[in-house]
Structure 1
Amino acid sequence: MNAIPAGTVGRAGGAASTTLPAGAAHHATPRPAHAEPATAVFAALGTTAVLLTADPARADDALLILRAELAAIDAACSRFRPDSELSRANAAAGTRPVPVSALLAEALEAALRAADLTDGAVDPTVGPAVAALGYDRTFAEVAARRPEDTGPASAPRPTAGRRAVRWDPALRLLRLSAGTALDLGATAKALAADRAAHRAAAAVGCGVLVNLGGDLSAAGEPPHGGWRVAIADDHAAPDAGPGRPVVSIRDGGLATSGTAVRSWRRGGRTLHHIVDPATGDIPPPVWRTVSVAAASCVDANTASTAALVLGERAPDWLRGTGLPARLVRTDGSVLYLGAWPADGGDR
């Protein structure tokens, strides 16, 4: 197994300023410096997008770059748009190789790398399994569907795995075995955060933080003391306050994956979007939330998602990566790994 490049997460000193809603798992709060970073919050990719720009005068330019990146990743990687590149590739499974764009190629290679790094715990071929559990349309539509309108989920089946994906990077040709459908949701969203943060920071010449539903990427020169990030299970929770863990980051990625927000009822069961590729079903309930810092948001998301799938094996696996991590069990108890500061020690 290849190593995941480590990130850094530090203790955040001083008091936070106004807490900002930041997607499904974090609230990102800029620490005051010479000027308060500009904030933009809007819906995107079925979640909440947050952009913080250290120099408010450059915020509009950074926002244009973020919106362009989100539109591009949606057109390339959405499994809910019939006109997306990914949907066309999935529709061609078992028939012919499909040429793909440079962006979908980058997203595919990120997903395949995640599968390699996690020995298949994070698997891009979970598409049929996720759909069989009921996540076969946008989450807003899934959440609005009444449990009595759906029957029990079909019997879970292990995913096809890497062997079902034939990828020629030189020619950018993708061929899927019959019955295979890719779901790049987790890594593609994290990739969008990384791409947007780095492109925006390079273009505007200041620090930028992008948060897409709990997938957070920071690039450029941050505000004094770094970006303060409050960790939460749900983006709809109240703003950071006493007892809410807060850390600071200067660059790289921070991802929080959890099972509490994207969940639904079907066949008398509570289901969610994290699937164990070995079974095609949701993993046993061990962790409610896992937060990981790494050199990129893609790597942080890969590790946090893998930890939810691995369950009781997650701590040993994460220790092997050396990544800072915070794991919350379903009973609320917390485990800290690596350089992650204990809750309360950063205030």
Structure 2
Amino acid sequence: MKMRSFRAMGTDVQIAIHARACHSESMVEQVLDKVVGMVHDMEQRLSRFHPTSDICRINRGRGQWVEIHPATFEVLRLAREAFLWTDGLFHPCLGAVLEHMGYDVSFDRRREPNEAPVVHVHPVISARCPYELSPDGRHCRVDPGFQLDVGGIGKGWIVEQCAGVLRDSGFEDFVVNAGGDAVCEGRNGERPWLVGIEDPFSRTQHALTLTLDSLSLATSGTYKRRWTHHGKTVHHLIDPRTGQPSSSDIVSCTVVHPSLVAAEVMAKTCLLLGSVEGIAWLSSRAQRGWVVVKNTGEVMHAWNS
């Protein structure tokens, strides 16, 4: 098996490939180099922390049409669909809230929190998405008072693009994993891929282990990206109904789905809704399985064949 690990998008990225006899060592290395370069290029376009990124330029030009790369347009199109599908619970315009809570640089670089007052977003549930996309597929305009942050869905989309490059290069059995958002293509030799779901209360153990065969999974959790703001511990998963970090009883939610972007949207939405509403919401929608870890330590899960 050929492995490649690197740091990008504020997390550890791992690629594992079961190469076949027809794949030379140099060919595998060239494809891996291409994938790594693509990840960094896409991160530069989609990150709200890179001043020249499309997202930063849109945020600086609030209320104006800004020309963007087609890849950025596609991510924003998917994020807008997710906003509408979840009645605004999946909200891609909470960058200002995170910034005023001290998450104004990538988490790797964050030092002391910014003690500016916490801002609250406008009520958005069942309201219009606060940005527009042009019919030409090249421009975006965000409403004044909002800032785009497509970190989660952007990461999932980038991982899916990496998987597409590997498929187009003739690889049939591989994993691309970015901080718990993973595409597991084909099989690990004669067996399915074995994926451990991290236990938020014991980093050395797994809450559950899943076997995946050509499926994707995404995890949203409140236990990793945490910091202190005005003497209070906060995290990065903002509930758009309150403008505050989620206080639901779910600490971690993992969703298995053929589409990694869909899994990302579903995992975050379930977490924000809490175990009762969230699991009911998940169960009424097409997915292959889910794992929920509650703040009591209870692990709940289901698998749909």
Q: Does 1:250 align with 2:218?
A: no
Counterpart among 62, 70, 80 of residue 93 in structure 1: 62
Matched residue SS, 2:253: strand
Are the aligned partners of 1:49 and 1:213 in contact in 2 as well (CA < 8 Å)? yes
What does residue range 130-279 of structure 1 map to in structure 2 within 5 Å?
130-142=98-110, 144-145=111-112, 150-151=114-115, 153-158=117-122, 162-219=128-185, 222-233=188-199, 237-238=203-204, 245-279=208-242
Most deviating of 59-68 and 273-282 = 59-68
| Matched residue, 2:53 | 84
The CA deviation at 1:217 is: 1.1
Query: 2:186, 2:37 → 1: CA distance?
Result: 19
Query: 2:73, 2:149 → 1: CA distance?
Result: 14
| Matched residue, 1:111 | 79
The CA deviation at 1:328 is: 0.4
Matched residue SS, 1:140: coil
TM-score normalized by the length of structure 2: 0.89
Most deviating of 165-174 and 273-282 = 165-174
Are the aligned partners of 1:125 and 1:182 in contact in 2 as well (CA < 8 Å)? yes
Are the aligned partners of 1:218 and 1:250 in contact in 2 as well (CA < 8 Å)? yes
Matched residue SS, 1:245: strand
* Structure 2 unaligned residues grouped into runs of 5+: none
Are the aligned partners of 1:107 and 1:191 in contact in 2 as well (CA < 8 Å)? yes
Amino acid of the residue matched to residue 328 of structure 1? Answer: V
Are the structure 2 counterparts of residues 54 and 252 from structure 1 closer, same or farther at C-alpha, using a change threshold of 3 Å? same
Query: 2:304, 2:174 → 1: CA distance?
Result: 23
Matched residue SS, 1:265: strand
Most deviating of 47-56 and 186-195 = 47-56
Query: 1:92, 1:152 → 2: CA distance?
Result: 22
Are the aligned partners of 1:198 and 1:219 in contact in 2 as well (CA < 8 Å)? no
| Matched residue, 2:279 | 315
Aligned length: 295
Counterpart among 124, 141, 154 of residue 92 in structure 2: 124
Over aligned residues, Cα RMSD in angstroms?
A: 2.2
Matched residue SS, 2:74: helix
Counterpart among 255, 279, 285 of residue 248 in structure 2: 285
| Matched residue, 1:25 | none
Are the aligned partners of 1:62 and 1:201 in contact in 2 as well (CA < 8 Å)? no
Query: 1:77, 1:178 → 2: CA distance?
Result: 20
Are the structure 2 counterparts of residues 314 and 43 from structure 1 closer, same or farther at C-alpha, using a change threshold of 3 Å? same
Counterpart among 43, 47, 70 of residue 11 in structure 2: 47
Q: Percent identity?
A: 26
| Matched residue, 1:64 | 33
Query: 1:138, 1:233 → 2: CA distance?
Result: 24
Are the aligned partners of 1:164 and 1:177 in contact in 2 as well (CA < 8 Å)? yes
Are the structure 2 counterparts of residues 44 and 163 from structure 1 closer, same or farther at C-alpha, using a change threshold of 3 Å? closer
Are the aligned partners of 2:91 and 2:240 in contact in 1 as well (CA < 8 Å)? yes
Query: 1:159, 1:207 → 2: CA distance?
Result: 45
Are the structure 2 counterparts of residues 173 and 232 from structure 1 closer, same or farther at C-alpha, using a change threshold of 3 Å? same
Query: 2:97, 2:115 → 1: CA distance?
Result: 16
Cα deviation 1:164-191 (Å, max 9, x = unaligned): 2111243422111222211000000000
* Structure 1 unaligned residues grouped into runs of 5+: 1-36, 341-347
Matched residue SS, 1:321: coil
Are the aligned partners of 2:207 and 2:299 in contact in 1 as well (CA < 8 Å)? no
The CA deviation at 1:65 is: 2.9
Which structure features the higher share of strand residues? 2
Greater relative contact order (CA < 8 Å, ≥ 6 in sequence)? 1
| Matched residue, 1:336 | 301
